[in-house]
């Protein structure tokens, strides 16, 4: 039987027509990262399963239901469901914490989660993320939040609201878990299976369950913010104070608990109303216990991750401008074998001078070549045939306006020089 190759519904092809959108986001995020002094790190796509179980947390949806895991003879490996665990593993394994503190890293990663495919929710998706390790100070929280916010602003997004909360530390949670269990216990049997298993170990996770029944039961539950210890309360108050001084707008949202277990103290989300139910574009927070949990010296840290599919969806829905699609500055058509060789030489010289130049590799007739030049949106075209070779002149045509300019063809270097001192950008501006 003949194979008809199809892609899985949980993954997406990113086609050439959309690449400029991704490049826009990548460029803006990397530029702003540089302003903030974050350096890029690239890590492997998979890690030992244990790393994610320990860091993301045993009672999270990600670990309980969503991981793509390959079990080998010696070890079990998992395609990363998020970037933080791997980045922190790399930070420790490579001794980066011995360098200046804080360590500030950013990354672009593809992530894998086996969850219900819907708008804004895929099996393979992409994140831009950043992590800062080494600082306890609320100033670090403010800086990381502003970094994420500046990227969204830099991309031209509007109406994105910043929600912040503090989910305290293990000390605050002792008391909070008790009252939360008391609140939930009359309905314990009605909770979904996963949440029943979370009831003892991590009842706060129930507040992040996606099931409508669990959401209903959790309605009106006591809030962690009422149970913060002095240190956590003070930390949150100072963070709010700094954000106020910086003029950053935010909403305190005591309902944010985040989907990953490693968070402590500050958590935050950037939410858009323009992309449907999965409106959280970026999520992050502090994770002061994680580094120690995976074998490092106790080190406070925090970070965020932005879902790039959701960022691009929001940009599209708001009609934000992307950087232009890559184009063609000049197409050199040729007629006859002699001219073809000269055209290819000329095209190469133009490329060396930094121009986006193309010519015929299909063996097309002249008409077909010019039709192709039009299709690919070439800004200029020129035709080289025997008569041009003889006269040493070539006519450059502005494909949009039809305006023609005669230029010397030989020596070729002069021709190239002619181009390089008339910048293409200037030429575009004229029409
Ligand atoms: P959600 O509540 O939407 O499931 P989450 O809390 O699981 O999000 P994080 O683990 O914080 O998300 O990931 C950070 C960001 O990555 C999210 O805010 C979102 O933009 C994006 N993201 C997470 N899961 C997916 C997915 N399955 N498909 C596409 N983007 C995703
Ligand atoms: Mg999720």
- What tens digit of pLDDT does each residue of 56-77 get? 998 888 998 999 999 977 889 9
Please report the pLDDT score of residue 261 as a whole number: 80
pLDDT surpassing 60 at residue 107: yes
Whole-structure pTM value: 0.90
Please report the pLDDT score of residue 422 as a whole number: 47
Residue closest via CA to ligand 1's atom 15 equals: 307
Cα(62) to ligand 2 centroid in Å equals 7
The answer, yes or no, to whether any atom of ligand 1 lies below 6 A from the CB of 12, is no
Cα(207) to ligand 2 centroid in Å equals 13
Please report the pLDDT score of residue 323 as a whole number: 94
- What tens digit of pLDDT does each residue of 176-198 get? 999 999 999 999 999 999 899 88
Nearest atom in ligand 1 to the alpha carbon of residue 123 is: 27
Cα(30) to ligand 2 centroid in Å equals 25
- What tens digit of pLDDT does each residue of 256-314 get? 988 778 899 999 999 999 998 889 999 999 999 999 999 999 999 999 999 999 999 99
Please report the pLDDT score of residue 429 as a whole number: 43
pLDDT surpassing 80 at residue 421: no
The answer, yes or no, to whether any atom of ligand 1 lies below 6 A from the CB of 278, is yes
Confirm if 180 and 163 have CB atoms less than 8 A apart.
no
Give the percent of the chain with pLDDT over 70.
95
Bridge-based pairing state of the strands 330-334 and 380-384 = parallel
Residue closest via CA to ligand 1's atom 19 equals: 307
Residue closest via CA to ligand 1's atom 21 equals: 307
Pocket test for ligand 1, best of 81, 280, 282 (most atoms within 8 A of CB): 280
Q: What is the mean pLDDT of the chain?
A: 92
Q: Using a CB cutoff of 8 Å and minimum separation of 24, what contacts does 326-329 make? A: 326/19, 326/20, 326/356, 327/356, 327/376, 327/377, 327/378, 327/379, 328/356, 328/357, 328/358, 328/373, 328/376, 328/377, 328/378, 328/379, 329/355, 329/356, 329/357, 329/378, 329/379, 329/380, 329/424
Q: For residue 79, what pLDDT band results from cuts at 50, 70 and 90? A: very high
Domains of the chain, CATH where assigned:
16-169+229-318 (3.30.930.10), 330-430 (3.40.50.800)
Cα(244) to ligand 1 centroid in Å equals 27
Nearest atom in ligand 1 to the alpha carbon of residue 208 is: 2
């Amino acid at each position: 039987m003949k194979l008809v190759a199809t892609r899985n519904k949980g993954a997406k092809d990113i086609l050439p027509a959309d690449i400029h959108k991704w490049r826009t986001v990548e460029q803006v995020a990397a530029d702003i990262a540089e302003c903030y002094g974050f350096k890029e790190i690239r890590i492997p796509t998979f890690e030992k399963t244990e790393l994610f179980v320990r860091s993301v947390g045993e009672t999270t949806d990600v670990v309980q239901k969503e991981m793509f895991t390959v079990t080998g003879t010696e070890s079990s490996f998992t395609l990363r469901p998020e970037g933080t665990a791997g980045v922190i593993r790399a930070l420790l394994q490579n001794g980066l914490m011995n360098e200046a503190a804080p360590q500030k890293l950013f990354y672009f990663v593809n992530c894998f989660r086996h969850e219900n495919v819907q708008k804004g929710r895929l099996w393979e998706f992409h994140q831009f993320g950043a992590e800062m390790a080494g600082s306890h100070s609320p100033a670090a929280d403010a800086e990381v939040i502003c970094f994420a916010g500046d990227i969204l602003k830099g991309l031209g997004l509007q109406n994105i609201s910043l929600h912040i909360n503090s989910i305290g530390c293990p000390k605050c949670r002792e008391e909070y878990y008790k009252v939360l269990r008391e609140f939930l216990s009359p309905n314990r049997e009605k909770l979904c299976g996963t949440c029943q298993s979370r009831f003892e170990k991590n009842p706060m996770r129930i507040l992040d369950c996606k099931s409508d029944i669990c959401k209903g039961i959790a309605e009106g539950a006591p809030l962690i913010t009422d149970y913060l210890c002095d240190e956590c309360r003070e930390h949150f108050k100072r963070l709010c104070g700094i954000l106020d001084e910086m003029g950053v707008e935010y909403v305190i949202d005591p309902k944010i608990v985040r989907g990953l277990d490693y968070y402590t103290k500050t958590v935050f989300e950037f939410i858009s109303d323009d992309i449907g139910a999965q409106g959280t574009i970026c999520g992050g927070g502090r994770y002061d216990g994680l580094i120690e949990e995976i074998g490092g010296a106790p080190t406070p840290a925090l970070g965020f991750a932005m879902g790039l599919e959701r960022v691009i969806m929001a940009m599209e829905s708001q009609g934000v401008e992307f950087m232009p699609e890559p184009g063609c500055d000049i197409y050199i058509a040729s007629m006859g074998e002699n001219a073809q060789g000269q055209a290819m030489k000329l095209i190469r010289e133009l490329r060396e001078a930094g121009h986006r130049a193309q010519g015929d590799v299909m063996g097309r007739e002249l008409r077909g070549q010019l039709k192709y030049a039009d299709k690919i949106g070439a800004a200029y075209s020129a035709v080289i045939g025997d008569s041009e070779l003889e006269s040493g002149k070539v006519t450059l045509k502005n494909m949009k306006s039809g305006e023609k300019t005669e230029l010397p063809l030989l020596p070729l270097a002069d021709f190239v020089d002619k181009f390089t001192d008339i910048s293409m950008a200037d030429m575009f501006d004229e029409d």
